[in-house]
């Protein structure tokens, strides 16, 4: 027994540490992100509202809201926005979405001029923009929370849940460079700590409302509530098209080898094309 | 000769970049065009570039009462929006087809650019418009 005593003492001393380690390990254990969906998972999707089809933004309402419901900009941001509006009016519009960057979240929802489609699969809702200027959002509806360690992206980390027929989304971890824009020529970097809460639902058979509350403490004096409208026209004969933004910088040509190639076009600092290569 | 052409192409591309050709493609505002003005060019299609985010159409023809042919470059919205708003297609017009284009010119008219308002294909009488807000008309097919 004497011989066992040291071992027992060591074990007794180590036990709390071992338990703590186990708890820590369990906490950090990787979660199964994409479990194989069950038949019930797919059946549950059939109970969700019909959001299929091509959704177009109501641009005339976007235009109107610039005047009727502007963001509560702080003093610094307001000055920048006023200057941008003045420059735009003078024919020198600021290129907010330069370098083919996505409009990012929530600006995609606010000012896009392109269509989108929305896909439901088990555990997530996916929004696909027509042009890669607005691109892609993944909204996790599998009950997960936001990550412990922030890994900011242009569209942030979105988790959602259904309240009846309304999808409620909470988005954090948006890159500080992502602009909060009210038009294609007026917007400022959010500068960090932005959070967006959305409630998306069908206001009518073919009308979708996206209610947003935007918390951007570095550029707004208080949260900004606004709604954007999307519509679909079931009778229309079109699909979403592939839209690769950088192709706008290139012309389709055939080189000396007979190969089909892309050749740069000439553009101004405002983004419009000046000339194309021969 | 082929090698020379390839080298020339490469040099041209590099020079182009140095001369201000920039990778700034993006959705952009259109106030560089003077929307209060309307001009017309009658001539032949040089090229329809069917690309995002802005389709472009170049036309070689006479502007207004002009007597010397000029190439003007028209810009529009994206292919998807043109299809929905104006019934466009990738082959709406082909190089060499006779057209009449109504447009708002760049404020700097020397740049010979415009925002296309309406395209008439002379041979068929078919017309195409390019306002993205036209998509909101109810009941359109």
Q: Are residues A183 and A271 in the same domain?
A: no
Query: Looking at chain A, which residue has its C-alpha nearest residue B136?
Result: A58
Q: Are residues A62 and A160 in the same domain?
A: yes
Q: In terms of Cα–Cα distance, which of B36, B116, B55 is closest to A91?
A: B36
Superfamily of domain covering B25-136: Nucleic acid-binding proteins (2.40.50.140)
Q: Is residue A123 part of a domain?
A: yes
**Could A244 and B20 be called an inter-chain contact, meaning their C-beta atoms sit closer than 8 Å?**
no
Q: Is residue A205 part of a domain?
A: yes
Average pLDDT of the residues of chain A: 87
Under 8 Å between Cβ of B19 and B79: no
**B23: confidence class by pLDDT, cuts 50, 70, 90:** very low
Task: Please indicate whether residue A7 or residue B103 has the higher confidence score (pLDDT).
Answer: B103
Q: Are residues A175 and A259 in the same domain?
A: no
Q: Are residues A258 and A200 in the same domain?
A: no
Query: Looking at chain A, which residue has its C-alpha nearest residue B6?
Result: A256
Percent of chain A's residues with pLDDT above 90:
66
A-B CB pairs within 8 A amount to 183
Q: Exposure pattern of A20-30 as b/e (b: 16+ CB <10 Å)? A: eeeeeeeeeee
Q: State the greatest distance between any 2 C-alpha atoms of chain A, in Å, as a whole number.
A: 94
Enumerate residues 222 to 261 of chain A having a beta carbon within 8 A of any beta carbon in chain B: 231, 233, 235-238, 240-241, 243-252, 255-257
Q: Which residues pair with B99 in a beta bridge?
A: B43, B121
Q: Are residues A259 and A147 in the same domain?
A: no
Q: How far apart are CA B6 and CA B4, in angstroms?
A: 5
pLDDT at A18: 41
The reply to whether A205 touches chain B by the CB within 8 Å rule is: no
Q: Which residues of B touch A97 (CB under 8 A)?
A: 26-28
Supply the ipTM of this predicted assembly.
0.76
Which tens digits make up the pLDDT trace of A104-158?
A: 999 999 999 999 999 999 999 999 998 876 789 999 999 999 999 999 999 999 9
Q: How far apart are CA A54 and CA A241, in angstroms?
A: 11
Q: How far apart are CA B21 and CA A264, in angstroms?
A: 7
Domain extent, residue A266, equals 245-275
Computed over its alpha carbons, how large is the radius of gyration of chain B? 17
Q: Is residue A14 part of a domain?
A: no
Q: Are residues A215 and A257 in the same domain?
A: no
> Within 10 Å of residue A9's Cβ, how many Cβ atoms?
10
Tell me how close the Cα of B112 comes to any Cα of chain A, in angstroms. Answer: 8
Q: Are residues A198 and A61 in the same domain?
A: yes
Q: Are residues A224 and A270 in the same domain?
A: no
Q: Is residue A155 part of a domain?
A: yes
Of A113, A250, A276, Cβ closest to residue B58: A276
The whole-number average pLDDT for the span A154-165 is 97
Which H or E run includes A181? strand A179-183
Tell me how close the Cα of A20 comes to any Cα of chain B, in angstroms. Answer: 52
Tally of domains within chain A: 2
The predicted model scores a pTM of: 0.83
pLDDT at B139: 67
pLDDT at B24: 58
Q: Is residue A150 part of a domain?
A: yes
**A276: confidence class by pLDDT, cuts 50, 70, 90:** confident
Q: Is residue A45 part of a domain?
A: no
Q: How far apart are CA A48 and CA B9, in angstroms?
A: 55
Percent of chain B's residues with pLDDT above 90:
53
Under 8 Å between Cβ of A60 and B133: yes
pLDDT of A47 > 90? The answer is: yes
pLDDT at B6: 45
pLDDT of A93 > 80? The answer is: yes
The whole-number average pLDDT for the span A216-236 is 93
Q: Is residue A163 part of a domain?
A: yes
């Amino acid at each position: 027994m004497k011989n066992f005593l040291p071992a027992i003492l060591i074990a007794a001393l180590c036990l709390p540490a071992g338990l703590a380690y186990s708890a820590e390990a369990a906490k950090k254990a990787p979660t199964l992100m994409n479990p194989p969906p069950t038949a019930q998972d797919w059946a549950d999707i059939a109970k969700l509202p019909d959001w299929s089809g091509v959704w177009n933004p109501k641009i005339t309402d976007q235009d109107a809201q610039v005047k009727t419901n502007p963001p509560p900009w702080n003093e610094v941001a307001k000055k920048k926005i006023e200057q941008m509006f003045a420059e735009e009016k003078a024919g020198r519009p600021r290129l907010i979405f330069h370098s083919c960057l996505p409009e990012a979240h929530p600006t995609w929802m606010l000012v896009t001029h392109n269509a989108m489609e929305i896909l439901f699969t088990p555990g997530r809702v996916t929004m696909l923009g027509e042009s890669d200027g607005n691109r892609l959002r993944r909204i996790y509806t599998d009950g997960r929370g936001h990550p412990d360690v922030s890994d900011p992206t242009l569209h942030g980390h979105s988790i959602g849940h259904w309240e009846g027929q309304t999808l409620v989304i909470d988005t954090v971890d948006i890159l500080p460079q992502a602009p909060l824009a009210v038009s294609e020529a007026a917007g400022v970097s959010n500068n960090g700590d932005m959070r967006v809460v959305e409630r998306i639902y069908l206001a009518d058979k073919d009308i979708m409302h996206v209610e947003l509350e935007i918390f951007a403490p570095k550029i707004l004096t208080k949260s900004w509530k606004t709604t954007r409208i999307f519509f679909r026209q079931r009778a229309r004969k079109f699909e979403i098209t592939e839209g690769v933004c950088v192709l706008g910088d290139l012309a389709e040509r055939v080189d000396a080898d007979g190969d089909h190639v892309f050749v740069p076009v000439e553009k101004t600092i405002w983004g419009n094309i000046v000339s194309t290569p021969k | 000769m082929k090698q020379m052409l390839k080298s020339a192409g490469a040099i041209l591309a590099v020079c182009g970049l140095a001369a201000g050709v920039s990778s700034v493609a993006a959705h952009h505002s259109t106030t560089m065009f003077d929307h209060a003005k309307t001009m017309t060019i009658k001539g032949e299609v040089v090229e329809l570039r069917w690309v995002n985010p802005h389709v472009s159409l170049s036309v070689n023809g006479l502007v207004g009462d002009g007597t010397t042919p000029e190439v003007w470059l028209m810009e529009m919205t994206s292919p998807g929006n043109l299809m929905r708003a104006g019934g466009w297609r990738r082959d709406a017009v082909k190089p060499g087809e006779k057209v009449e284009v109504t447009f708002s010119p760049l404020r700097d008219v020397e740049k010979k650019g415009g925002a296309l308002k309406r395209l008439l294909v002379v041979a068929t009488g078919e017309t195409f418009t390019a306002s993205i807000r036209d998509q909101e008309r109810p009941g359109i097919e």
